[in-house]
Amino acid sequence: MNQFIEWVSQPWPWYVAGPLIGLTVPTLLLLGNKTFGVSSSLRHACAICVPSGIPFFTYNWRKEMWNLMFVLGVLIGGFIATQFLANPDDFILADQTKADLIALGITDFSGLLPSDIFSWSTLFSAKGLLFFVFGGFLVGFGTRYAGGCTSGHAIMGISSLQWPSLLATIFFMIGGLVMTHLLMGPLMSLVGF
């Protein structure tokens, strides 16, 4: 058992994680005819809390409660993996990425997320405004405008061979490349990195 825990605590390679994530598609379909997609949970949150009479948020969200249970599970899964199956070794990052990020002003490479950005002390600063407020807004606004995110389009949509999802995924990548290579440097120096 200890050996198993030790083995499972190592970071999982892509060829283990990818197929497991892909299996979510048939699992949800066969469990109850559910279509895989995470960003819909954000829409249901709006529909439950602040529908404000907006037609886009006026639908029978009770039927979609399964989606909120699913994301609650993702949160709990994150807790379990971090508390009980955490990787005991150092986080390994590609040398070139590390060099690029040092140049941008990142100093902490000890965990999965850099504490230079992801800590409460940055929240009420220009850094927090950029990464949490602006970043979060873009994720929520963009996924809903696109009609799905990495799960709904890139995985579920392409798996069912739907070209609009492939198109959406290509633009997810273009957006990410533009942010990383063109905008991130100037934005980060603007907020004090």
Q: Which of residues 14-73 bind other proteins (CB under 8 A)?
A: 14-43, 45-46, 50, 52, 54-60, 62-67, 69-73
Query: Which string of b and e fits 60-82 if b means at least 16 CB within 10 Å?
Result: ebeebeebeebbeeeeeeeeeee
Q: Which of residues 93-132 bind other proteins (CB under 8 A)?
A: 93-94, 96-97, 100-101, 109, 112-114, 117-120, 122-123, 128, 130-132
In whole angstroms, the minimum distance from the beta carbon of 77 to other proteins comes to 2
Q: Which residue in the block uniquely carries the two structure tokens 């409660």?
A: 65
> Per rule CB under 8 A, is residue 193 in the interface with other proteins?
no
In whole angstroms, the minimum distance from the beta carbon of 67 to other proteins comes to 6
Alpha-helical segments (H) within 85-162: 95-104, 120-123, 126-128, 135-146, 158-159
> Per rule CB under 8 A, is residue 192 in the interface with other proteins?
no
Q: Which residue, among 129, 142, 139, has the nearest Cα to 188 in the 3D structure? A: 129
> Per rule CB under 8 A, is residue 173 in the interface with other proteins?
yes
Q: Which residue in the block uniquely carries the two structure tokens 């927090």?
A: 128
> Per rule CB under 8 A, is residue 191 in the interface with other proteins?
no
Selected from 88, 90, 163, 186, the binder of other proteins by CB under 8 A is 163
Dist CA 65 CA 70 (whole Å): 9
In whole angstroms, the minimum distance from the beta carbon of 2 to other proteins comes to 18
Cβ proximity to other proteins, 126 vs 167, nearer residue? 167
In whole angstroms, the minimum distance from the beta carbon of 78 to other proteins comes to 3
Cβ(20)–Cβ(36) below 8 Å: no
C-alpha R_g of the chain: 19
